[in-house]
Structure 1
């Protein structure tokens, strides 16, 4: 009997084909797992190699600084030893003179019958010797090269300032990725005031008379940047000083703008990533998942930095003052253009009226 009826495959043949298809899929997935494991090993190897190279450079820098320190201290020690020897020699000169004077004092009784002129000659000789010794051993005649030492100290201070200006090196690297961020007023919630330059956002209790646009947030106190980016690396900083509540991060343009959905809050949907600060506590958000950051509780920063690497699929937040890591999201692959996003928060019982201001991220914050 034929295995086919009217040219149609039998039930057994269909199951066999399906089984073969699933097996091929399983083999493909197993191969993919193998490739991912190899990729993981490659990433680990590359990361460790870079870390070792950087650690070696820091060891080299420490060695160079240690050698320079030893040269400087050795030079100062040489000068000190020379000066110390001079002082000891002058003390010895004074000691010998006191011994001679003691001897002369003891001989005076035996010189009662000595002629007057001889006594006068001895007196003159003693006075001359004493005067010469006192002049030679004057402490004010022994000087350190204070000017040279001040120059040495000044050069050391300048070296320290230079090193401080170059570290942390991570911050210096981020500064090379500094982005020019301008806020789009047409996206801002009506209770937000955007500065004319688009570099700051301020909460107000007054509902602003602004045109209704499809891009404007009407529930959450958000505003996003005019320009987005879809490649490379970008870094930006926001001045958060004096604030008790704020949220900031990155978002796709597809983030919901209207209605009561919580997804329109930064980090509550899959379209955005953010760090939130509220009354001393920090929380990172993405996809509605809350990441509490208890180790940062109570810490306050003047600036918050956000670094995004499109190739690496990373969104990293840091306290820019001290380059303190806050949280890092690994998105893997971004699927759309990213925009910077800010939420200055409500008034928080009168404690949160200050603006969020975008900073020049290519320059460090001034030391107060």
Structure 2
């Protein structure tokens, strides 16, 4: 007990140390981005100030010319009394001054460096895309644990159609002509994976878009498969863990204990990710689009082989015909 208590203290200490280091790195990233933003905006402000000063100078040139012309108009009588030739000469000189002033003060001659601005914006967009491609960082971590999940058609309820590759399950209102096996669910619309695992860490993702009812989770092989017992449903017995989605509401289940996830009510995800740490006794469900935590079970020690399990649900009054599709969890979903 003393050694276990020391181990517990060591785990807590190491976890806090890692959290502190990661927090500092995020703070460093924020400082770098804030400083880069300050430098970029300062440069743009400097150029803007220079352009404003140039415009003011051009306006002042036009103003002085206007003042001179007004003065010349006031002295028109004196010009008229002069020799016509002199008047023509001075008029030509005035027209020349006006033309030259209009030419050098034309607004089109004053332009921002649009190419530079476009380059700055492009670089900023690229930086944003780079950051988005790297976060959430947990996504990168979980992708390294991606599991190759193949559904076992011999376990599927007869009203489920399992794709030839074993990567999707679709509900059908028709009872399929399939052989009866001890491993087949005969009441609940469940199917489990062909392969199980007894060590390491596993992560898998399922496409759930367009569905109004589904269940996802993990189960021991010992989950009841026959009859109308409540334990046959995912999460209703001690053999399985699941998250259920029905008409906008999320519920987590294990051992028949219901956890209503009210904070997620109405929220929809394209993919759901399921992460399991066998040595850590951890089962986590996440909205894989943004790695939003849905629910985590801290189970302690697993006592048997774990299999991925899912239930695509019934037709739900015509709103739930789409399949549950297992996706390649080693790659991010495309951005639409």
TM interval, shorter chain, is over 0.9
- 1:323 has 2:280 as partner: no
User: How is 1:116-265 mapped onto 2 (pairs within 5 angstroms)?
Assistant: 116-265=84-233
- 1:309 has 2:277 as partner: yes
CA pair 111-209 structure 1, distance change in 2 beyond 3 A: closer
Aligned to 1:364: 332
The secondary structure found in structure 2 opposite 1:144 is: coil
Distance 2:99 2:173 in 1: 89
- 1:48 has 2:16 as partner: yes
The secondary structure found in structure 2 opposite 1:157 is: helix
CA pair 346-112 structure 1, distance change in 2 beyond 3 A: closer
CA pair 352-117 structure 1, distance change in 2 beyond 3 A: closer
User: Which string of whole-angstrom CA distances, capped at 9 and with x for unpartnered residues, describes residues 275-309 of structure 1?
Assistant: 11222222111122222212222222221110111
Aligned to 2:309: 341
Distance 1:112 1:284 in 2: 99
Aligned to 2:268: 300
Aligned-pair CA distance for 1:167: 1.5
Runs of 5+ unmatched residues, structure 1: 1-31
Aligned-pair CA distance for 1:36: 4.7
- 1:282 has 2:235 as partner: no
The secondary structure found in structure 2 opposite 1:78 is: helix
Distance 1:346 1:110 in 2: 101
Instruction: Report the count of equivalent residues.
Output: 336
Aligned-pair CA distance for 1:171: 1.9
- 1:66 has 2:34 as partner: yes
Aligned to 1:14: none
CA pair 35-292 structure 1, distance change in 2 beyond 3 A: farther
Distance 1:111 1:192 in 2: 103
Choose 261-270 or 174-183, whichever is displaced more. 261-270
Distance 1:227 1:103 in 2: 98
CA pair 333-132 structure 1, distance change in 2 beyond 3 A: same
User: Which string of whole-angstrom CA distances, capped at 9 and with x for unpartnered residues, describes residues 71-118 of structure 1?
Assistant: 211221222122212111111111111122222222232345433333
- 1:82 has 2:50 as partner: yes
- 1:271 has 2:239 as partner: yes
Aligned-pair CA distance for 1:148: 2.0
CA pair 112-312 structure 1, distance change in 2 beyond 3 A: same
The secondary structure found in structure 2 opposite 1:180 is: coil
- 1:352 has 2:320 as partner: yes
User: How is 1:85-100 mapped onto 2 (pairs within 5 angstroms)?
Assistant: 85-100=53-68
The secondary structure found in structure 2 opposite 1:155 is: helix
The secondary structure found in structure 1 opposite 2:238 is: coil
User: Which string of whole-angstrom CA distances, capped at 9 and with x for unpartnered residues, describes residues 33-57 of structure 1?
Assistant: x555444433333222222222211
Aligned-pair CA distance for 1:342: 0.9
Distance 2:298 2:275 in 1: 12
Q: CA RMSD in A?
A: 1.8
Distance 1:84 1:62 in 2: 32
Aligned-pair CA distance for 1:311: 2.3
User: Which string of whole-angstrom CA distances, capped at 9 and with x for unpartnered residues, describes residues 16-46 of structure 1?
Assistant: xxxxxxxxxxxxxxxx2x5554444333332
